[in-house]
């Protein structure tokens, strides 16, 4: 019931807007009552899964963030073109000479969905909640010593060492959202949301999640009346729903059909390389994979083009480093040319008696890893490495990874924005994500230096050098950056596909 | 059951935190969800609460398990009973006809149909139906669920395809039972006696064949219904049907112990209740059992 009332309120807003612009589509506001869920001017988006919950500081699930992206705001936000940070709830920020004090100037005239005013106390509350309760993203505040409200419009963050990527740490995704002071005590944040974003969370059940337009949104209320996220897990069903007009947007597209959709007039298809990367890692503590020559042999035997074609039906960019081509931090380095002879020579040089067996652990949670592993297995066979593809469920996979119980595994890192996200914890000695057990003092030094370097070009230089060593030593065997693939109804406008897979419907207008 | 659920490898805390987190966050969440307590203690806490109808709170969503199950129960009940209806509508005529004319063309066609229903994967049948009826023809929505109280028309439209798929699968199984139990009844002495004393075929069939053949039919229908009520994961996924099967699957994947335990408990109760109902039906159908 509440949904209906808010939706029709929204429709009035949209009407007056289109009256001003002298045109636009008519919106049916009359009648009262109205069927449940989805009005004429509500965008229906098909997503592949139900959000687990809506507390931005607690969830780690992508389906939740698809919704939260439209409900909450962060101080800064990655820009759609190159993912550099731009203003959101903070209009301006500066860092002191010594790099230890960051000052954020906050936007005025912002209100939360419960009507309360946004100010510095809310930022302090939100960040301290993450830090004090050791929530998911507490690791992002490792260098943060204090968060303080200087005045209602100014927040000061002091850090223990220069942290050039602080804006990326607090802005890269909605896990760092700003809640009103005391929100966790006042609301049940797992089911309710009190953000400052363009839409309010109205209702969520086992079939869909409904958002309504927030009329007092600081960026100007969206022209649509709301968004309905409908969960359609089966890609073929999601695509059918888009083609017959049940939904107007989806990111759940059967990969094998991408090519044939490119000429389809009933569907607008968009792709862009993502900031995700998929890789294979070998256990350096297990012989013979501790020997860099063996790892190089395997890296030489793998044909990334064929892997990409099989795993993603070509909807990906093969890459021998982690950072995709469009990024400022991309480093053009590809030393491995697929060759069986060279790979065999490297194995001989390493003194390895073939045939050997390598267990390759993958998970059906990410079916593309299973396909990729099968291709890799066939590519390693000619050099005398017999790959035993072990498909396990994700929970078991994570257990075995953390126990070091593997010869090799395949997985991806998703949603990386800063080079720190791409390289640091994965390759520094004893890093929290360095499950393969890589250790190179030179890499450690470069990564440590880069993590506090404030000059962008110098920082890029340091990461380039580190990347080169990581690739040469095959700490990770990088495979590809997948494409983001989304589709929508022809005529839908104001939507931008993004490399970080953030789904933002703020500016959307329906056909 | 409790021990089994916990014995499965996999750590719900690590799954909930995603891929990047600190050890401190891990410890904090483990403590909050009570997983740092000894297993025996966890069991007695859970058991004590379960006796009062409190099944705990989901790790994933923070909602109570009872509310999550209650939310999905109507969709599951709807699909299960609709499917059984479809199954019986298919199975009883088909099974009867082939039993009356064994080895005839009709019998062979019926056997092929039921073989088809058993062996064709339900996800494939589901996707084909979606592509034809929602895609090409555009007659039905591709999936989803609308409560009957909200819009009976929309409810029926969305129910047709999933009920057909699960109904065909269950119906194929039931057809075979109908056929064999009919054949058995037809060949029994009392039927021959009834025929010999000149009763009309119709009367022989309804009173002497059908009634005796009903017993195995009730049993197998009960088993099928229990299976449908515990959720048909694949069909639920294909048709975006928010049933218990999907909930249980998500709970397994996330190692969401409270939800998983709640779901298993419910399935166990469903089996018990259906067995009881089947037993009661026996006595109604066959007065000899009453003694």
Tell whether the model's pLDDT for residue A198 goes beyond 60: yes
pLDDT band at A5 (very low <50, low <70, confident <90, very high): very low
Give the contacts of A455 (CB within 8 A, at least 6 positions apart).
Answer: none
Which one, of A305, A380, A390, lies nearest residue A344 by Cα? Answer: A380
pLDDT of residue A323: 93
Which of A36, A236, A365 faces B127 most closely, judged by CB atoms?
Answer: A236
Q: What is the pLDDT of residues A320-358, one digit of tens each?
A: 999 998 888 999 999 999 999 999 999 999 999 889 999
pLDDT of residue A39: 60
Cα–Cα distance for residue pair B266/A288, rounded to 1 Å: 50
Tell whether the model's pLDDT for residue A19 goes beyond 50: no
Q: Does B188 touch chain A (CB under 8 A)?
A: no
Cα–Cα distance for residue pair A252/A231, rounded to 1 Å: 10
User: Which residue's structure tokens are 């807007």?
Assistant: A17
Q: What is the pLDDT of residues B203-251, one digit of tens each?
A: 787 777 877 888 888 888 888 888 888 778 889 999 999 999 889 988 8
Domains, chain B, with CATH or none: 2-51 (no CATH), 73-285 (1.10.3720.10)
Domains, chain A, with CATH or none: 76-186 (3.90.76.10), 277-484 (3.10.105.10)
Q: What is the pLDDT of residues A453-462, one digit of tens each?
A: 988 899 999 9
Residue ranges of B 117-136 with Cβ closer than 8 A to chain A = 123, 126-127, 130-131, 134-135
Instruction: Determine whether the interchain pair A136/B18 forms a contact, defined as Cβ–Cβ distance below 8 Å.
Output: yes
DSSP letters spanning A46-65: EESS--S---TTT---HHHH
Instruction: Determine whether the interchain pair B12/A395 forms a contact, defined as Cβ–Cβ distance below 8 Å.
Output: yes
Tell whether the model's pLDDT for residue B258 goes beyond 50: yes
pLDDT of residue A511: 87
- B278-286 long-range contacts (CB < 8 A, ≥24 apart) are B278/B218, B278/B219, B278/B222, B281/B218, B282/B215, B282/B218, B285/B211, B285/B214, B285/B215, B285/B218, B286/B211, B286/B212, B286/B215
pLDDT of residue A283: 96
pLDDT of residue B287: 77
Q: Which segments of A171-289 are extended strands (E)?
A: 199-204, 208-213, 226-231, 249-250, 268-273, 277-282
Give the gap in angstroms from C-alpha A353 to the nearest C-alpha of chain B: 35
pLDDT of residue A395: 86
Q: Mean of the per-residue pLDDT values for chain B?
A: 86
Share of chain A above pLDDT 70, in %: 92
- The angle at the Cα of A267, spanning A262 to A272, to the nearest 5 degrees, equals 55
Q: Does B153 touch chain A (CB under 8 A)?
A: no
Instruction: Determine whether the interchain pair B143/A365 forms a contact, defined as Cβ–Cβ distance below 8 Å.
Output: no
Instruction: At A466, list the tokens.
Output: 């580190």
Q: How far apart are the first and last CA of chain A?
A: 27
Encode B111-150 in three state secondary structure: HHHHHHHHHCCHHHHHHHHHHHHHHHCCCCCCCCCCCCCC
Tell whether the model's pLDDT for residue A22 goes beyond 60: no
Which one, of A259, A173, A229, A263, lies nearest residue A46 by Cα? Answer: A229
Q: What is the pLDDT of residues B54-75, one digit of tens each?
A: 888 888 888 889 999 999 999 9
pLDDT of residue A12: 32
Q: What is the pLDDT of residues A149-163, one digit of tens each?
A: 999 999 999 999 999
pLDDT band at A84 (very low <50, low <70, confident <90, very high): confident
Q: Mean of the per-residue pLDDT values for chain A?
A: 88
Q: How many CB atoms lie within 10 A of CB B287?
A: 8
Q: What is the pLDDT of residues B108-145, one digit of tens each?
A: 888 888 888 888 888 889 999 999 999 888 899 999 99
Mean pLDDT (whole number) for A445-452: 93
Which one, of A236, A475, A35, A108, lies nearest residue B239 by Cα? Answer: A236
Q: Does A432 touch chain B (CB under 8 A)?
A: yes
Instruction: Determine whether the interchain pair A134/B15 forms a contact, defined as Cβ–Cβ distance below 8 Å.
Output: no
Tell whether the model's pLDDT for residue A373 goes beyond 50: yes
Higher pLDDT, B71 or A8: B71
Tell whether the model's pLDDT for residue A189 goes beyond 70: yes
Selected for mutation to probe chain A from B5, B14, B22 (highest A CB count within 10 Å) is B22
Q: What is the pLDDT of residues B262-291, one digit of tens each?
A: 988 888 888 899 989 988 888 888 777 776
Instruction: Determine whether the interchain pair B16/A402 forms a contact, defined as Cβ–Cβ distance below 8 Å.
Output: no
Mean pLDDT (whole number) for A419-427: 92
DSSP letters spanning B9-78: S--HHHHHH-S---HHHHHHHHHHTTTTS-HHHHHHHHHHHHHTT---B-TTT-SBHHHHHHHHHHHHHH
Which residues lie across from A411 on neighbouring strands? A279
pTM reported for the whole predicted model: 0.85
């Amino acid at each position: 019931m509440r949904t209906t009332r808010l939706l029709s309120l929204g429709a009035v807003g949209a009407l007056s807007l289109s009256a001003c612009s002298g045109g636009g589509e008519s919106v049916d506001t009359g009648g009262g009552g109205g069927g449940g869920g989805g009005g004429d001017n509500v965008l229906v988006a098909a997503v592949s899964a139900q959000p687990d919950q809506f507390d931005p500081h607690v969830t780690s699930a992508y389906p939740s963030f698809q919704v939260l992206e439209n409900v909450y705001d962060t101080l800064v936000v990655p820009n759609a073109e190159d993912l550099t940070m731009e203003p959101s709830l903070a209009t301006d920020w500066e860092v002191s000479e010594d790099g230890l004090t960051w000052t954020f100037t906050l936007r005025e005239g912002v209100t939360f969905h419960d009507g309360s005013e946004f100010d510095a106390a809310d930022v302090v509350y939100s960040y301290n909640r993450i830090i004090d309760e050791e929530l998911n993203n507490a690791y992002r505040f490792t260098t943060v010593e204090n968060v303080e409200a200087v005045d209602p419009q100014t927040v000061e963050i002091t850090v223990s060492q220069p942290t050039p990527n602080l804006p990326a740490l607090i802005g890269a995704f909605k896990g760092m959202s700003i809640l009103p002071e005391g929100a966790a005590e006042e609301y049940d944040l797992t089911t309710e949301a009190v953000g400052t974003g363009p839409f309010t969370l109205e209702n969520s059940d086992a079939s869909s999640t409904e958002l309504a337009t927030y009329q007092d949104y600081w960026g100007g209320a969206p022209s649509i009346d709301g968004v309905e996220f409908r969960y359609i897990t089966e890609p073929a069903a999601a695509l059918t729903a888009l083609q017959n007009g049940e939904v107007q947007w989806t990111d759940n597209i059967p990969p094998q059909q991408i090519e044939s959709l490119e000429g389809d007039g009933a569907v607008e298809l968009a792709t862009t390389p993502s900031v995700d990367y998929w890789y294979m890692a070998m256990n350096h503590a297990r012989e013979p994979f501790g020997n860099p020559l063996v790892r190089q042999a395997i890296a030489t035997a793998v044909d990334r083009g064929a892997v990409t074609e099989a795993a993603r039906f070509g909807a990906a960019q093969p890459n021998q480093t982690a950072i995709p081509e469009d990024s400022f931090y991309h480093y053009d380095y590809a030393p491995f040319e697929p060759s069986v002879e060279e790979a065999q020579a490297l194995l001989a040089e390493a003194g390895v008696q073939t045939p050997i067996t390598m267990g390759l652990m993958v998970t059906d949670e990410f079916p593309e890893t299973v396909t990729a592993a099968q291709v890799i297995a066939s590519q390693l066979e000619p050099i005398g490495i017999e790959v035993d593809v072990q498909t396990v469920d994700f929970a078991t996979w994570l257990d075995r990874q953390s126990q070091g119980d593997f010869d090799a595994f395949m997985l991806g890192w998703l949603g990386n924005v800063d080079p720190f996200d791409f390289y640091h914890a994965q390759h520094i000695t004893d890093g929290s994500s360095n499950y393969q057990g890589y250790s190179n003092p030179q890499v450690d030094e470069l990564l440590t230096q880069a993590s506090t370097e404030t000059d962008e070009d110098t920082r890029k230089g340091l990461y380039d050098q580190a990347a080169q060593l990581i690739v040469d030593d095959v700490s990770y065997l990088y495979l590809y950056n997948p494409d983001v693939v989304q589709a929508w109804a022809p005529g839908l406008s104001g939507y931008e596909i993004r490399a970080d897979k953030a789904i933002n419907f703020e500016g959307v207008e329906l056909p | 059951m409790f021990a089994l659920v916990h014995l499965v490898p996999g750590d719900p805390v690590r799954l909930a935190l995603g891929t990047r987190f600190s050890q401190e966050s891990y410890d904090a969440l483990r403590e909050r969800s009570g997983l740092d307590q000894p297993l025996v203690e966890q069991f007695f806490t859970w058991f004590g609460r379960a006796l009062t109808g409190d099944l705990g709170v989901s790790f994933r969503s923070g909602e109570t398990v009872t509310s999550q199950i209650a939310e999905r129960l109507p969709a599951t009940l709807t699909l299960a009973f609709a499917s059984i209806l479809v199954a019986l509508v298919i199975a009883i005529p088909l099974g009867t006809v082939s039993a009356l004319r064994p080895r005839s063309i009709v019998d062979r066609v019926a056997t092929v149909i039921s073989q088809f229903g058993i062996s064709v994967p339900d996800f494939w049948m589901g996707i084909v139906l979606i592509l034809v009826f929602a895609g090409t023809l555009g007659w039905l929505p591709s999936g989803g669920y609308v409560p009957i109280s909200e819009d009976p028309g929309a409810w029926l439209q969305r129910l047709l395809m999933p009920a057909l798929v699960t109904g065909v699968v269950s119906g194929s199984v039931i057809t075979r039972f109908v056929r064999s139990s009919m054949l058995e009844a037809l060949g029994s002495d009392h039927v021959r006696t009834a025929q010999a004393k000149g009763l009309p075929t119709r009367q022989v069939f309804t009173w002497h064949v059908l009634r005796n053949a009903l017993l195995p039919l009730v049993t197998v229908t009960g088993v099928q219904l229990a299976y449908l009520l515990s959720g048909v994961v694949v069909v639920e996924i294909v048709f975006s049907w928010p049933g218990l099967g999907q909930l249980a699957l998500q709970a397994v994947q996330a190692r969401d112990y409270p939800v998983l335990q709640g779901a298993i408990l419910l399935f166990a109760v469903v089996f018990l209740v259906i067995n009881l109902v089947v037993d009661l039906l026996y006595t109604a159908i066959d007065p000899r059992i009453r003694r």
